[in-house]
Every structure is written in structure tokens, then in C-alpha cells.
A and B are shown apart, each in its own frame.
Chain A
Amino acid sequence: MNLKIRRAQNKMFEFLFILALSIAMLVLLVLLVQIVIDALPRLSMQFVTSFPSSEPSEAGIYPALIGTLYVIGIMTPIAFFIGTGAAIYLEEFSKKNALNSFIQLNIRTLAGVPSIVYGILGLTIFVRGAEFGASLISGAFTMTLLVLPIIIVAAQEAIRAVPRARREAALALGATKWQTVARAVLPSAVPGILTGMILAVSRAIGETAPLIMIGAFTFVAFLPESLTDSFTVLPIQFFNWIARPQDEYHELAASGILILLLVLISLNITAVWLRNKYQKRI
């Protein structure tokens, strides 16, 4: 092929890729602008600190925001330890046999199971089985189940990406398996594991279906005071508002969505900051 055609080809593909990116960004931008326009009239400090009300001008998202933070706050550490632990076991300790491959296949499949299915699971195990009821802890545990496969898969990939030479270096110095994992493998895998955590938390914040399934309220006029209190989360609150015919409620939902985005962004920034802090040591 002559040089001219190859260069033209190069330009054409570059253009196509920029186009793909632009379309994605444009859609996102339109969405954001639309939400901001809808949200601005309702956005105030009072909106964040008020309880929901039948009077749109007085309604706020306080219990839902707190509910979301509680659910995420309980879920994240549990999911982190169980998920990373499972990944370490699968990658470093378990024998590579048929059972192991079967477990791997299942985890990957679970990562793609619709979230409502986790809702049914949570309803059976936590709400009814363990008799936690439609409570904060049922919600947090259900969310933990939901994000575990994502975290395990991400952590496994991060652990697998650590060069074998690094493990060998530690083992050859007389490190035990655990010392090798803790001191030579995990420090290099932490950024990848944290990336998985970011994805998992972002996913959990936006989930509605499984929590409705386990019976989270759509209208809550109080704060959960213990783990067994009932609760609601932001997306459920928005769902409730959007389902109403009046425009005021739609504006409330838009304001809420903006707040949710802010929560999401600040959580992500924290995680990215943590990741970069560790990455510097790699």
C-alpha cells in the first residue's frame, strides 16, 4: 500500500475515534445541562437538610442522603475485605484445578446478574432468613453481595498483573507465601484493587431495584438510628418524586440527582487520591 493511502487511512481512523468520543461526551453534556437547568430553582442548603414533605417547597433529601451514606459506609469495608480476601485466595493460594475454574466462571457470571436478582436474594436471606427486616443492615448486606463479584474480578486482575519476578524475589529471600503476598504482591496490586472499589461503590450508589425489593421505604420522614431501622436511599427518593405528575417534584428529583453526582464525584476523588498515593510507591 502506498504512503498516501496509509496516511489517509490513519487520519480517517483518528477522526472516527474522536467522533466516537465526542458523541459520548455530547450526550453526557446535554444530560448534565438539562439536569442543572431543572435543578437550579430548587437547589439550596435547605433542600439538603430537610425531610421529604408533601409540600414541594419544603421537601428535601436529608434522610435519603444519610441512608445512602450509611449503606455505602457499611458496605465498602465489608466488601473490600471479603472481596480482596477471596481474590487473594483464588490467585495465590488455591490450586488451579477444575473446581477453581468453576468458581471463577460463577463469579464472572454473578458480575453480570441483574441487580433485582440480588434483591430477591437479600429478601430471602437477610430480611426473612436472618430476620433483619427491611432494615439498613439488610440493604447494606444486599449491596455487598451485589458488588462482591465486581470487586473480586478487579482484585484478581490486579493481583495477576503483578510480575512473577516480584514474587520470586520475595520467595527466594525466604519469605513465606503470606509474606510474599502481603509485602511483594499486594503493594503493587493496591491501585488496581482500589479502581475496582471505585467502580463497585459507584455502582452501588446508583442501585435502586434491589433495595426496593427488600422493602426500603420510598417515603421516610426520620433518620435511621440503628442498623435495624428502616431507611431509604437517594435513587429511591428520586424515583418516588419522578413518578409524581407535578413539575415541582421533577425539579426536586433533578436537584437530588445533582447532589448524588456530587457525592459520587467526591467519593471517586477520594478513591483516586488514595490510588495515586499508593501508585507513587510502585
Chain B
Amino acid sequence: MEKAIRIDGLNVYYETFHALKNIQIEALPARAITALIGPSGCGKSTFLRTINRMNDLVPGSRVDGKIIINGVDIYDQQVDVEALRKKIGMVFQQPNPFPKSIYDNIAFGPRLHGVTKKSELDEIVESSLRQAALWDEVKDKLKKMAYDISGGQQQRLCIARAIAVNPEILLMDEATSALDPISTIKIEELAQELKSKYTIIMVTHNMHQAARASDHTGFFLNGELVEFATTEQLFSNPGDERTESYITGRFG
């Protein structure tokens, strides 16, 4: 197993609230899907947002510990946060396309990073939309507003937008929770395709989704990472009784 990320003694505080407690993950696998599960407020979204340092934006938040990607601690002073976020794409709970055309949504990221040539942008737009399994549905209406397509399509558009800057890691923060079941399945299938190229980490409140769509699963409870294992093992033979209680539906 190739490892993408190592987490070493990660703590996150919001003012005085201790949101993540000494998280330790030896090897978060590359080119695979890792699901993060746990009840509301357990810290799984906070954890996800520490990986691309989106948590920096929360006033009063503080991080200590290390997150090591490609041998570099991303909380090191030297790290260029913008370059880091370019390498780590993120898809949010609600589809959040810009109020621009489908084309301009995908081109937004590449343009930020200096791509201006039309032919180059065209190519990125097409390949990103193809990877997000959206090309055939929108290829004739690239100039249309992104809001004119369905919610599920918008979410795949957001995935395409994230892919367009050529990231290594894709973070999905409950990316299907605002979608209908069919759109949800499409996104899950898409994730399966994308994992050959990207390391995917998804937060989900839906245990069944974690069970059917992920390779590894981490279970969070009250800011602690209770268990991190292969999905098969975690769901069939959990090592901690709190995990077992949660996955058998005794709480949460």
C-alpha cells in the first residue's frame, strides 16, 4: 500500500473547545477511498478541513501536530498554503458552483494559476468534465449558467472543477448529503473511477455509503479517532466496542 498522508499527534482547538484530540494515522492510503464516519460534531469534518488548511479560516482555531504529505509537514511555516490547496481539491456538502457558465466554472482554477491560452483551457475543461462523467450531458451547453443543471450534475461539476487544477488528493465533505439517491450513486461510482488517479477522502454521515464505497474507514467520536482500518475489517470485525456500537446503530 502506497501512503499518501501521515497524521502525527494532530490537535485542533476552537477557542477553548478541543475539537480533535491527538489524531494518529500512520498511513492514509494513496489512490484509494478513505471514508470518515461518526456522529455529528465528532470532528470528522474538522479533520478533513485540516488537510487542505481550510480550517485556518475559522477565527479562533488553532492546530498543533503534524500532517505530512509527500514528506512535508503542511503546517510548517514555509508551506505555501495556496499551492497546498491547489494540490488538494475539495468538494463541499452543498454544490457550490460559481454564478458563471459551466465552462468558466471549470476554467476558474486553471485561470487562477495562470493558464490563459484558450486551446489549453478548452482541453482542461473537456478532460475534467470527462473525468467527472459529465461531458456527454453538458458538452452542448458549456456556455450555459452552471445553475441551470440539476443538483447532482452541479455536484459533478464541482468535482470536475476540483480536478481541473490537477490535484493529488480529493476531499469530499458529505458531498452527497444534499443529493437524491440516484445522483448519490452516480457520485459514488465516479469516486470509484477517480481513485485510480486521486487519493480520495470522504466524510459521510451515511454508514452504508462508507461500507459500500470506501477501502479504508476511520471512525471518529468526540474528537478522537477511535479506529482506522480497512473498511472490510472495520465493518465486519471492529476492534473497538464503541465502533461496534456505532455501526450496529446503537447510537449516532
Contact = CB atoms under 8 A, between A and B. Distances in A.
Contacts of B92: 165, 168-169, 172
Given A173-B165, A174-B113, A183-B112, A168 B96 contact: yes
Contacts of B98: 166, 169-170, 184
Interface of B: 52, 54, 57, 59, 82-87, 89-90, 92, 94, 96-100, 108-109, 112-113, 158, 161-162, 165
A171 B57 contact: yes
Nearest to B91: A172
Contact of B94 (A165, A176, A183): A165
A164 B118 CA distance: 30
Contacts of A282: 99
Contact of A176 (B82, B96, B97): B82
Nearest to B56: A171
A6 interface: no
Interface string A210-252: 0000000000000000000000000000000000000000000
A173 B87 CA distance: 8
B112 A173 contact: yes
A163 B95 CA distance: 12
Nearest to B90: A172
7 contacts: A96-B59, A168-B90, A169-B92, A170-B98, A174-B87, A174-B113, A174-B165
A270 interface: no
A174 B83 contact: yes
A169 B96 contact: yes
A22 B41 CA distance: 53
A183 B90 contact: no
Contacts of B165: 173-174
Interface residues of A, number: 20
Interface in A159-189: 163, 165-166, 168-176, 179, 183-184, 187-188
Nearest to B113: A174
B113 to A, nearest CB: 7
B234 to A, nearest CB: 28
A281 B100 contact: yes
A188 B98 CA distance: 9
Interface in A259-282: 281-282
Given A96-B59, A168-B54, A183-B112, A173 B85 contact: yes
Interface of A: 96, 163, 165-166, 168-176, 179, 183-184, 187-188, 281-282
Contacts of B158: 169
A42 B161 CA distance: 63
Given A165-B92, A168-B96, A187-B99, A174 B54 contact: no
Most central of B87, B96, B113 by chain A CB within 10 Å: B96
A116 B161 CA distance: 53
Given A168-B54, A179-B112, A183-B112, A174 B100 contact: no
Contacts of A96: 59
A171 B54 contact: yes
Contacts of A183: 108, 112
Nearest to B100: A281
Given A170-B112, A172-B92, A175-B82, 6 more contacts: A163-B96, A166-B96, A168-B92, A171-B85, A172-B52, A175-B112
Nearest to B112: A175
Contacts of B108: 170, 173, 183
A281 B98 CA distance: 10
B99 A174 contact: no
Nearest to B111: A183
A82 B122 CA distance: 38
A235 B52 CA distance: 58
Contacts of B112: 170, 173-175, 179, 183
A67 B87 CA distance: 56
A168 B48 CA distance: 14
Contacts of B87: 174
A124 to B, nearest CB: 40
A179 B86 CA distance: 14
Contact of A172 (B54, B97, B113): B54
A35 to B, nearest CB: 42
A95 to B, nearest CB: 9
B87 to A, nearest CB: 8
Contact of B82 (A165, A168, A174): A174
Contacts of A179: 112
A1 B93 CA distance: 41
A179 B112 CA distance: 7
